[in-house]
A = this chain, B = another copy of it.
Amino acid sequence: MSLEFLIEKTSGPGRRGRLRTPHAEIETPVFMPVGTVASVKGVPQDTLEELGAQIILGNTYHLYLRPGVETVRKMGGLHGFMSWNRAILTDSGGFQVFSLSELRKLTEDGVTFRSHLDGSSHFFSPESAMEAQISLGADIIMAFDECTEYPADQARMRQSMELTARWAARSKKYFEEHKHNVPWKTPLGKEHVATAAFGRVTTGQPKAAVPTCFERTQSLFGIVQGGMDRALRKESAERTIEIGFPGYAIGGLSVGEPRELTREIVESTLEHLPKDKPRYLMGVGTPEEIVEYANLGVDMMDCVLPTRAARHGLLFTSEGKVSIKQARYVQDQGSLDPNCSCRVCQRYSRAYLRHLYASNEVLAQVLNTIHNLTFYLDTMRRVRHSISLGEEYRFLSGVWSRPAP
């Protein structure tokens, strides 16, 4: 096996665990910063390490177009290319093909599309998406799926879900036959002895180390689709589980539907996913949402919100959102978030951050992104801590609470 998942503690449906990948062990629930083209925009890798980013996400569609998977493969995969020795996850490229490119033709075989960069024509299939992701060499890669648009009628949701299921089987088949082509050049320095039985669910302390064979290949996750229909989501989950993956993602959410509906679909879909495997909710969400979904039992989340909002001067703080461009901050000597220990809040005033943003200085993006990522990663740290403490303590919407007895 190339992935181990140990649940160390549960609190209601929420779980605190450890996910062992070839490059790093990850504490879950985890938030994964998005590094679209092998860079979390504006943030050097050593700073990401300082912030405690355990795993970052790369976008296969973007990397395929630029610099191209062959270049990344020759540099030892994304880890070597971008000099990042912690874990990486790549998406399948499907979501961007449908959302960013000019889609030319969708067939059972795959998708022909035009690059959003130069209009050139390309083809993605489950097989070619796997080939690309094996060359990119992330620790966790994703099956090629079709992200169903919102709104969609029942027939469309079913047809799309079924296509995703067939593509999942093809993705797994290609992956199993080619996974040893991963471009990692050298094994990790230290002996790989598993610290726990794979997938063992426990609510107590970690088990003593149980030596198992840990294979240094990638892991392929399946993706549950099915639009906003609970029955289709259940069927999609069952069909994906039948194919069999070491982890399962919930895709096709946060695509424009009301937040209540997102939550309903997440909660109902989680019921049908195996408890002993990591569950990844794709493309979600606000700070409140990542807390909510982690407490519902989601183990992994990614979202462009903290990094994208930072570029637009929207900053998340313990006292609420701050739009740093506002004139009210021109002479505000206070720190951005008095409860934040990041290097931005410890050093700079709101007035300075406002000035950098208003002057269109690159440092604005750098500092804003560092702060927003800190806020997200700190939020997830608090969620993990609250799950460790047990059901009496909850960390919700940025506030610790202990329900009355």
Interface residues of A (CB under 8 A from B): 37-39, 41-46, 66-67, 71, 74-75, 81-83, 330-331, 333, 343, 347-349, 351-352, 355-356, 358-359, 361-363, 365-367
Contacts and interface: CB of A to CB of B under 8 A. Distances in A.
A75 B44 contact: no
B352 A46 contact: no
Contacts of A330: 67, 71
Given A44-B343, A75-B333, A349-B75, A67 B363 contact: no
Contacts of A352: 38, 75, 81-83
B358 A66 contact: yes
8 contacts: A37-B361, A44-B363, A66-B358, A67-B359, A74-B331, A75-B351, A81-B352, A366-B366
Given A71-B330, A330-B67, A331-B74, A363 B42 contact: yes
Given A75-B349, A347-B46, A349-B83, A67 B355 contact: yes
Nearest to A355: B67
Contacts of A343: 44, 46
Give 4 nearest A-B pairs by CB, closest first. A42-B362, A67-B355, A39-B363, A83-B347
Copies in the complex: 2
Q: Which residue of A42, A71, A82, A359 has the most chain B CB atoms within 10 A of its CB atom?
A: A359
Contact of A71 (B67, B351, B367): B351
B66 A359 contact: yes
A331 B358 CA distance: 38
B363 A43 contact: yes
A344 B62 CA distance: 24
A343 to B, nearest CB: 6
A355 B44 CA distance: 14
A248 B356 CA distance: 32
Contacts of A367: 44
A356 B39 contact: yes
B363 A41 contact: yes
Contacts of A347: 45-46, 83
Contact of A44 (B41, B331, B333, B366): B366
Nearest to A351: B75
A44 B39 CA distance: 18
B67 A358 contact: yes
A361 B46 contact: no
A372 to B, nearest CB: 14
A330 B81 CA distance: 11
A343 B71 CA distance: 23
Contacts of A331: 71, 74-75
Nearest to A362: B42
A72 to B, nearest CB: 9
B361 A362 contact: no
A333 B74 CA distance: 9
Contacts of A363: 39, 41-44
A355 B358 CA distance: 29
A33 B356 CA distance: 18
A43 B42 CA distance: 10
A38 B358 CA distance: 13
Given A43-B363, A71-B351, A81-B352, 10 more contacts: A39-B356, A44-B363, A44-B366, A46-B347, A66-B355, A75-B352, A82-B352, A83-B347, A362-B365, A362-B366
A362 B41 contact: yes
A64 B258 CA distance: 47
A356 B36 CA distance: 11
Contact of A42 (B75, B82, B366): B366
Nearest to A46: B343
Nearest to A367: B44
